[in-house]
Structures are given as structure tokens and as C-alpha cells.
Structure 1
Amino acid sequence: MRLFKCSVFSSLVYFAHVLLIVHSQEYQSDFINIDCGIPADSNYTDSYTGLHYVSDSGFIDAGESKTIPPAYRSSSLQQQLVTLRSFPQGTRNCYTLKPVQGRGNRYFIRAWFYYRNYDLKDRLPQFDLYLGVEKWDTIYFNQTTTRVQKEIIHVPTSDYIHVCLVNTGLGTPFISALDLRYFNRSMYTHDFGSLKLFTRVNFGESFGYYRYKDDIYDRYWRSSDYFNSSLLYNSENVTRYFGVYNLPAVVMETAIAPENTSNPLKLEWEPTNKSDQFLIYLHFAEVQKLQTNQSREFNIYLNGNLWYDETITPYDVITLTVESVAPEKPESKYEIVLQKTNTSTLPPIINALELYTVRKFRQPQTDDQDVGSIVDIKSVYKVRKGNWQGDPCAPQAYAWDGVGCSYNDSISPRITSLNLSSSGLSGKISPSISNLTMIISLDLSNNNLSGEIPDFLSQLTFLRKLNLKDNKFTGSVPVDLLSKSESGLLLLCTDASLGGGGTNQCPPSSSENSSTARIAASVVSGFVLILIAVIVVL
């Protein structure tokens, strides 16, 4: 096992701790806090956490705003849970987040769900939650008052993070709030996959919870005094330094020990799925002022085997964390035993625990440049097609209407066709189209587009069909486009008044997807072979 210790002098640690307290508000710049269902463009500062929440209207363009009826609210109900967004229409509805730090960074994402009979149907729904193009978890409720939180630590391969709700036919999907936090690179470092939270526990308190501002990353710590244990707490008012994982001081100032000091301290749990692989994080700090004749030393066992090969002696000023170095093998039940050594005069203790299951997201998302282009096109033309949400190409079953893609198991999908015929478009042709570098077919016919036909369309290397008929363009067709058309490299369809291309007969748009898919497979495969050949030569 790997043992994390603070490697700087205590005075420097104290100085860093003070800075974190003084400047904790600055961490909000790394937060995205979304209250789902509140009016568009509205915002507020939460009275409990001091976090600034915004409406979800800028992150999704579907769904219906709903409110928990006053008769079903308690005085302690968090403000973010009063409203929600419900999705009675469509199979998949997605929030799109674009954190400023971009891809390759570590983020903590949390989704909140609070049914509380908001629809007055008293029927508990069940639906799926997706992160990107793959399933994250299933959302279900034991009773109407159940509050469900799903948390995951994730390193996206794309600048765009899609959180999607998928209707599985067991009730209307909804969501109450959505949070994203940027994590320090030194925390939860691993390459095993994403970490889905199983539990996060603050030992030593029997009720309540802590989050921001106590926890600068807004992790949610639920309290537990645990069965057959006794409470220990910091009576000396000694500051607990955060250590690598920046745990809240209020969490580390309490701990539990076995009720009978001669016994070991046991922690048990059962996995939700038998195939789950756990990563375990145990956090320790001494909370008592030990006398010269006192000592606290113990060993850690997992399912009867020595889990960490060094004796644990909690520090009295620094949080000590022991964690899995690899996912634990699947078991039907887990038991951690903290057993004091023969020379120890005091029983073992533990202050906090985190359990995560490993979730591997293997399916690639659509190429980021293509996503950025199509998202910008959607924004410029205010496209409101029903399923234009989330990833435009993946999963393949949820590909956007009018968007054709190429698929390869080892590379990201690419957009190869775009059909926006009869979509009410107006204004000039968006320059973002020029970034769809693998596009083969583009249909913008029967709209109100105006201005000149841009020359950048001729720079699209793989473009083989371009339909611009029945718009309000002025000027003439660019020379390079005409040249491609005359040489047979491009099927160009324009109004005769623009000169050239007017006599060409474009095939119906409905037949585009199948033919384009065949062309796309050939073109993309050829492109990959060329790229491999270049690499081999180099």
C-alpha cells in the first residue's frame, strides 16, 4: 500500500492552511454550481455554503421546470432541491459543461435528485444517468423523501462533459442540481479509470454533514458514530493540517475507537454489484494528547490479510492517508480490521473513510473540433432539433438528427455529413463549418441564408456533395467550387441565378445517411492508412 505523508516543515504547512482558509472563496472559480429548474438567467448565493448557484438554462435547452410543492418541503430543505428539471419528452436529455481547465484534468462531478412527489403522482421513477457516451449509474428511490446523490471523480478526454438522463420506460427522468469541481492534480492520482463514490464518512459524529466551506473541494462528508465504537475528539484545540487530500479540520478532529479498548476496530460493507472493484482511502490523525507512557500503534487487515505492511501511528498535527495502490479484487463482503500491536497502550482509531468503485469509460467521444463546430452551428442558427443534445455522434443510437458520422473502435467518431435542409436558417454561412474537416456531404438547402457563398467551402478536402439551393445568396459561386464541380470532384447544387451548378440534380436528402456512411468509411479508413504510413516512414 502507499502511504501519503506531508513532506514539508510544519510551519510551512500551517502557513498553507491559513491561506486556504483566508482564500477559500477563490476556489469557487473552479466550481460550476447549477440549480436545475430555477428561472432562466437567475442566480443566488446559497445561505449555508456561500456557493454561487446559477440557472441551468445555459447548459440545456430541453425539459420543464418544476417545483417541490410547499406541503412537501421542510424548513431544512436545501435551496438547490426546491426546484428541478423534468424531461417528459425525448429518450436522452443532456447537460453540456465546458470547464475552463479543459480535458485531461481531474474533476469531481455530483448530480442531485430529490423526487418528493413533485408531480403529485406519488410514483417513484427509475432512469439511467450517463456521463459522456456511457452509463454512469441507475437512479432509483426507496421512498418519496429519498434524496439521491451520485458522485464521480473523472478525467475527461474531451473539453466537453455531457451529463445525460436517459428514459428507460420506468418513469420521467429529472434532476435537481448539478455540481462540478476541479481537483488538484496531486489528489486521487491513478490510471485505473473514473472513481464512482460508494461512501464518504466522517467518523465520530452521529448526525449532520460537512461540505464547503469546511471542505474546500465541496466533498460531502456524512457523519457516523459507527456500531460498537466510542467517540474521541480533539479537546486540546490543536489545528489539524490538511495533508495531501486537504481534508476538513472538522472531520479530522473527531475519530472512533473500539468500545472495548482490547478489541480491534472493524469496518464492514457489501458491494452493490459483485463485480465492483474498490479503491479504499483511510484517513488518520491523533485527536488526544498522549502522555509519555502512552502509545497508539496498529496494523490494517483487509478480509483477514495484512493490507498495509507498516505499523500505523497517527500524527497529531498532520492527516495521514493510507490508500489502495490498485483496485481491490471483487468480494461478496469486505471487512477492514484495525488491530493494535502488542506494544500499543491505546486502541486503534480512524477519523474518516472514502470508498470508490472503479468505472472504466472506454467508448470514445466525438472529435473535439467537430463537437466545437457543431455546437457553435447550433448556437449561431438557434437550432432546436429534438435530440441535438450531448455528444453529436455517440452512442450511435443517439446520433443527432441530420448529422452523419464515421465510427471506428479505436478513434473518435468524426462528423461526415450535415443535413440542415428546411431548418429555418438565416444569416451567412457560419465559418464554423470550415472546421468540419472530414465532412463529405453538406445540405443547407431550402433556408433563408444570405450573403455570398464563402470560398472556405472549397477548402473542405473530403466534401463531395454541397446543396445550397433555395436560399437568398448574392454574388456568384466561388471559382474553386465551380472547378471542383466541373472536374467531377463535387456534386454542387445551387440556384441557376448564381451561375453554375444549377442544373445538377442532388439526390433526396433522406438517402444521404446510408450512402454517406459508406463513403465516410472509405475516406476515413484511407486517411488512417495514410497517417500510419507517414508514421512508419518517419
Structure 2
Amino acid sequence: MSTNLAWLLRLPLILAAMVVQVHGLSPPGFLSLDCGLANKSAYNDSITGLLYISDSGFVEGGLSYQISANLMDQATNEQEKTLRSFPGGQRNCYTLPSIPGKRYLLRTTFTYGNYDGLNKTEDGSLFLFGLHIGVNLWATVNLTNSGNSTNTFWKEVLTVAPDRFISVCLINFGLGTPFVSSLEMRRIGDSMYPFVNSSVSASYFSRLRFGAVDEFISRYPMDSYDRFWERFDNWSYPWVNLTSKNKAMSSPPANHCDDFSFSVPSAILQRASTIESNFSWFSITVEANSNLQSETMELIPIFHFAEVGDVNGGARRTFDLSVDDEQLLHNFTLPATSPVTKFDSSTRRRGSRARIVLRRSPGSDLPPLINALELHSRVWMINLTTASGDVDSMESIKEKYMVTRNWNGDPCSPRDYTWDGLNCIYPNGHQNPRVVELNLSASGLRGEIATSFMSMSSLEKLDLSNNNLTGTVPDYRLYSLRVLNLSNNQLIGPIPDSVLQRIVAGQLDLRFGML
């Protein structure tokens, strides 16, 4: 949507997240990154009060920019003024601290602001790049002919953390330089959005609130999880907006057989839209804009209802609800006192639009009513991450030798973005990819041979030739290893007996000395 808005393995990043919570007045589980923020300390956002910090500790590479000077006055928040651009590499990833198995909302915003002077959103050329959540495609950011370069676009995904970190990656399709203005992470409740799990994430399609609302976007602190709720504007006679005086409304409890706690804010449940009593039905059409690649989307609709009208004397509000001519609710009677959420995660709706019809049931005293709706598209998490032991080993090697290659994100997954110098195997079934070959020849490596190489139990070929490695040949008890090239280094001392025995048995090809 558009409007003029506003791989954690190391202790420093953990500490950074703790600082956010302790000093930034942000709720636990919130992390707000102002991408490209440089030469300025953290700040509290003027609209939400949430603390924003620089993204520099959470990403490698990229260049910091400000939007064009003549557009600065049009920025409606600080995050719109700066961005991080990624002209180098096919994949550049942010690493965010997380708790394994917990649910998170992740949101990226994009304000181009003609930072590069190329007018890319208005020159007619293709301008699009991809987003990955972990090792799976989340969305495509399409800014082609998107108009005013001060427009802010956003992408949002609900996901389950697979490990101690979540990776958000920008993918270069060769159709414009990827960039990002802000990256926000919000931990949500364990019972929220029950269709989200380790195999399925959910990408934002639409989230609408109804009734008379002043703000185009409602978010934190009204919504304690900082979801974006858009105001529904496409209404006219015979639509009627209602407001409840009941300030104690709460979202559905989690123990209902078909309802779950979506923690809808009370302020949203207090407002609704209906129609004049002499009419029987109304429709809502939600369409994708050009920023969404929507042809293959599988949409999950969620409807939030709360009675805000006059139901004195036992008046009933009963209605049917259908999506694209498929009935989801039949003779549904809205409770007079408690909010209700209804959703359908089993039906797969494809396409760029959804038409929702609410129709009054025969004998109903009152016409249909709606307070809010959400539409999310499934993101199938079909690519598996590299085996955690191999990831830890590769990260340790990268850090020890300060490898300057574009080693970003997951080492082996997805296949198109395997780290330079690696070959991996991708077993069938639910097995994680493994590193089988590692070539670091002529990579400027210095110091002793790291023990981390011996931790990769599937490694078959290791090439460390033509470097400046010193010390002795390690006692390699890595029985998967078939080829070990250590030639043209500064290694000294005898070759360990265990290595010699494998050479004599024809199990290991060792290349050693100066060639």
C-alpha cells in the first residue's frame, strides 16, 4: 500500500536489542530500525513514541543515503528521510534477534525520495526487487511507475522464528537497486493468527477498519502490536457508520472452538459500518495495487465483528457472508455483548481482488455490520535452512578470517544464492542442506587452520591452498573428507598419524607443501 507516512549469532546484537527495550520505552519484543541512519543517535518517533535505532549493527554492506534535499520537507517522519541502498550482491540480509518458535510481525517500508537522482519511480523503466523471509520468497517490491518519489510503500509478514534469529533479505533482480527505509519487528501473541506456523507465513494484503475514522493509518499505541489498520473510505449512501460507547470491548478469547485471540484493539471494535435498515446487503471489494504480485496469491480472509448498534428489546442481527460467491457464514447471528472473529484458512482464493458480500438473513431485525477485516496471503516456507552446525561453522570461519566475500544470509539456501566457494547437497524430504565442498583458495587467509572446519560432518572437499596459513596440520578426524588441499601456505611440522593412515588407505587425497 502507498501513502505519505511515516542472523543473530553474536552477543553485541543481543545487547543492542536489550538496550532498545530498557532505554527506548518500546515494548519487549519490539525492534525498530531506521535504515541508513548515520551520524545521529537513536530517537523516539514523534507519532508512535517508539525508539528507532540505526540499522548498521544488523546488516553487512549497503550504502547510507538521504532522500533528495528538495523533498526533505515532504517527509512526514524521520524514517522517510534516510535509506540503505544495496548496489552490490544478489542478496543482502538483515539479522534480527528472535526467540525460536515465537510469532513475529515484520514490516519493511520504502521511500525512494529520488535519493540517486535517477527518478526511477517515474521514468517508466522496470524498478523491482525481492524480499525473502529467511530463505523463502516473501514478496516483490514493484516501484515501476509508482509516481511521486515521496510515496511510502510497505510490506508486512507474520512468521514463526525458526531459530535465534530471523533473516530479512533484499534480492537484486537486476531491475533496479534494492533499498529499504525502515525495518520493524514486533513480537505478537502465541495464540494470534493460528494459521501461521513453521511451514506457512502470512504476507499482508489488506487490513481495514470501518466506521468514521480520522486517521488514514491507525497503529501503535492504539494497537499494542503496531499493526497497520487502514481506514475504509469507499462508502456512501446507504452506508451508515456506528460508534459504541462501550469502552470495555475486548477481542475474542482464545478458548472458543472456532475463534482465536487476534487482540483487535478496542478502539476498532467500537466502530462499525452497516447500511440503512430498509436495505438488505452491501459489498466490499479489496483489490491489489501494482505493488503486489497477486496472480498466485492464496488469500486468507479474517472478519472482526462487534455489536455497536441499538439492540434493545432483543433485536437480532443475522446475516450471510460470502467471498467471491463462496459462502463462509450462513445465518450468523452477531452476539449482542461479545466480539467475534471469523476466518477461513482452508480455502485457497487466488487473484488480485476479493469481493465480500454481507446479506441480511430473512427474519433478521437489523442489517449486516462489520468492524474490521484482514486479508493475508500464504507464504509457503518450502526452502529449508542449512543445518545449524554448518551455519555456526561457516559464521565462525567468516569471522576468524574476516572473509570479505558476499557471504550473506543462509550459506546454502535457497540454491540460487549459495555462498561463493560452497557446494551443498539438498537431501530429499525434510532434511536440511549440508555443505560438502568449501573452496577458500587465494582468499588471503592468515593464522592457524580453524577447528571450525572439522565441525562440518558432511564436508568432502576443502581447498585452503594459496593462502598465508601458519602452524601445523590439524589432526583431522573428519571422516567425510576426501580431498584436503593445503598447498602453498606456511604450514610446518609433521602430518598427524590419523591423517597419514587415511592417505595410505586411499580415503584422503592430501595436497601439501609448495607447488
TM-score between the two structures when normalised by the length of structure 1:
0.79
Q: What is the 5 A alignment of 1:173-322? A: 173-190=178-195, 193-204=200-211, 205-228=213-236, 229-234=239-244, 236-243=245-252, 244-259=261-276, 262-270=279-287, 273-288=294-309, 290-292=311-313, 294-316=315-337, 318-322=338-342
User: Distance in 1 between the 2:45 and 2:471 partners?
Assistant: 48
In the other structure, the counterpart of 2:151 is: 146
Classify the secondary structure of the residue corresponding to 1:120: coil
Q: What is the 5 A alignment of 1:115-514? A: 115-124=112-121, 125-141=127-143, 142-143=146-147, 144-155=149-160, 157=162, 160-190=165-195, 193-204=200-211, 205-228=213-236, 229-234=239-244, 236-243=245-252, 244-259=261-276, 262-270=279-287, 273-288=294-309, 290-292=311-313, 294-316=315-337, 318-330=338-350, 334-385=354-405, 387-410=406-429, 411-455=431-475, 458-473=476-491, 476-495=494-513
Give the C-alpha shift of residue 371 in structure 1: 1.7
In the other structure, the counterpart of 1:29 is: 28
Residue deviations 1:116-141 (CA, integer Å, cap 9, x gap) = 21112112232222333343222122
User: Distance in 1 between the 2:187 and 2:454 partners?
Assistant: 32
Q: Kindly tell me: are residues 429 and 330 of structure 1, through their superposed partners in 2, closer, same or farther at Cα, counting changes over 3 Å?
A: same
Bigger CA radius of gyration: 1
Classify the secondary structure of the residue corresponding to 1:492: strand
Residue deviations 1:192-220 (CA, integer Å, cap 9, x gap) = 73212110111122533222222222211
C-alpha contact 1:27 1:217 (8 A) present in aligned 2: no
Partner amino acid for 1:101?
A: I
Q: Kindly tell me: are residues 175 and 292 of structure 1, through their superposed partners in 2, closer, same or farther at Cα, counting changes over 3 Å?
A: same
Q: What is the 5 A alignment of 1:96-115? A: 96-97=95-96, 99-102=97-100, 104-115=101-112
C-alpha contact 1:265 1:349 (8 A) present in aligned 2: no
Partner amino acid for 1:80?
A: Q
Q: Which range moved further: 32-41 or 391-400?
A: 32-41
Give the C-alpha shift of residue 276 in structure 1: 2.8
Q: Kindly tell me: are residues 478 and 54 of structure 1, through their superposed partners in 2, closer, same or farther at Cα, counting changes over 3 Å?
A: farther
User: Distance in 2 between the 1:414 and 1:403 partners?
Assistant: 10
User: Distance in 2 between the 1:420 and 1:275 partners?
Assistant: 41
User: Distance in 2 between the 1:393 and 1:118 partners?
Assistant: 33
Give the C-alpha shift of residue 92 in structure 1: 2.6
C-alpha contact 1:206 1:224 (8 A) present in aligned 2: no
Classify the secondary structure of the residue corresponding to 1:58: coil
C-alpha contact 2:247 2:266 (8 A) present in aligned 1: no
C-alpha contact 2:26 2:51 (8 A) present in aligned 1: no
Give the C-alpha shift of residue 255 in structure 1: 1.2
Partner amino acid for 1:358?
A: R
Give the C-alpha shift of residue 246 in structure 1: 0.8
Q: Kindly tell me: are residues 431 and 215 of structure 1, through their superposed partners in 2, closer, same or farther at Cα, counting changes over 3 Å?
A: farther
Give the C-alpha shift of residue 40 in structure 1: 8.3
Q: Which range moved further: 298-307 or 121-130?
A: 298-307
Classify the secondary structure of the residue corresponding to 2:369: coil
User: Distance in 1 between the 2:413 and 2:39 partners?
Assistant: 28
C-alpha contact 1:284 1:314 (8 A) present in aligned 2: no
Q: Kindly tell me: are residues 84 and 328 of structure 1, through their superposed partners in 2, closer, same or farther at Cα, counting changes over 3 Å?
A: same
**Structure 1 unpaired stretches of 5+:** 1-22, 496-501, 506-538
Alignment partner of 1:92 is 2:105: no
Classify the secondary structure of the residue corresponding to 1:298: strand
C-alpha contact 1:366 1:412 (8 A) present in aligned 2: yes
C-alpha contact 2:98 2:163 (8 A) present in aligned 1: no
User: Distance in 1 between the 2:408 and 2:193 partners?
Assistant: 31
RMSD: 2.9
Q: Kindly tell me: are residues 173 and 253 of structure 1, through their superposed partners in 2, closer, same or farther at Cα, counting changes over 3 Å?
A: same
User: Distance in 2 between the 1:100 and 1:418 partners?
Assistant: 29
C-alpha contact 2:300 2:349 (8 A) present in aligned 1: no
Partner amino acid for 2:47?
A: Y
In the other structure, the counterpart of 1:521 is: none
C-alpha contact 2:67 2:113 (8 A) present in aligned 1: yes
Residue deviations 1:431-454 (CA, integer Å, cap 9, x gap) = 332321111122223334344544
Partner amino acid for 1:302?
A: V
Q: Kindly tell me: are residues 54 and 332 of structure 1, through their superposed partners in 2, closer, same or farther at Cα, counting changes over 3 Å?
A: closer
Q: Kindly tell me: are residues 333 and 394 of structure 1, through their superposed partners in 2, closer, same or farther at Cα, counting changes over 3 Å?
A: closer
Classify the secondary structure of the residue corresponding to 2:65: strand
User: Distance in 1 between the 2:42 and 2:488 partners?
Assistant: 43
TM-score between the two structures when normalised by the length of structure 2:
0.82
In the other structure, the counterpart of 2:258 is: none
Task: State, as a whole percentage, how many aligned pairs show the same letter.
Answer: 36
If each structure's helix is expressed as a fraction of its own residues, which one has the higher value? Answer: 1
User: Distance in 1 between the 2:249 and 2:179 partners?
Assistant: 40
